[in-house]
Amino acid sequence: MASLVQQPAPSFKAQAVMPDGSFKQVALEDYRDRYVVLFFYPLDFTFVCPTEIIAFSDANAHFAERNVQLLSCSIDSHFTHLAWRDRSRAEGGLGKIEFPMVADLNKKIAEAYGVLLPGGIALRGLFLIDKQGVVRHEVVNDLPLGRSVDEALRVIDALQHFETHGEVCPANWHKGGLTIKPNPKDSREYFTKANK
């Protein structure tokens, strides 16, 4: 499937387990005034998945201060999500999670985002969706490869810097680093400073 970057993010409505443990139907459009990081994982009660979900949840305040709503999604039911949350972290469970966990039981969301495997589970896809509902970044990992929360935050910072200042962000850029004015003349300022 072709990349979704620069395309409208596929819309969805689905049941989710909310941070307070309740069930609620959520839609992507519910978060249109915020950025959204939607990340897929293969299955509840597995091995790499809890490390990612817990890492994103533990960093939720960093996403919130950037006006980003985290949403996780797998093909499990909302009942299974809740049971996994109810298991302690020491036993491979999740404990309290600070963002909605979306249930994609019919697999339509994973399919729409191009991460559904033939066996019926999702690859580790992560999609950064802007406030207009457009996908601005995506990364898809194979099943054994966990993702980086720090990298997700770095890309959000880069997008928000570009939106605010119109300057583009070079390789390995972090907030506060040198940026590039995207035209042939003014870009020289960056290259002069970066190559001293």
- Output the tens digit of pLDDT for each of the chain's 196 residues: 689 999 999 999 999 999 999 999 999 999 999 999 999 999 999 999 999 999 999 999 999 999 999 999 999 999 999 999 999 999 889 999 999 999 999 999 999 999 999 999 999 999 999 999 999 999 999 999 999 999 999 999 999 999 999 999 999 999 999 999 999 998 999 999 888 8
Boundaries of domain holding 28? 13-146
DSSP code of residue 119: T
118: how many CB neighbours lie within 10 A of its CB? 5
Number of structural domains the chain divides into: 1
CA distances to 13, 17, 20, 69, 185 from 29, in Å: 9, 17, 21, 12, 40
Q: Residue 81: its pLDDT value, please?
A: 98
Query: Among the options 16, 28, 36, 49, which is catalytic?
Result: 49
Q: Residue 78: its pLDDT value, please?
A: 98
Token pair, residue 151, equals 């990298």
Residue 27 forms part of a structural domain = yes
Kind of pairing, strands 23-27 and 101-103?
unpaired
Q: Residue 196: its pLDDT value, please?
A: 82
**Known catalytic residue: 169?**
no
Beta bridge partners of residue 122, listed in sequence order: 116
Residue 160 forms part of a structural domain = no
Residue 157 forms part of a structural domain = no
Q: Residue 21: its pLDDT value, please?
A: 96
Residue 25 forms part of a structural domain = yes
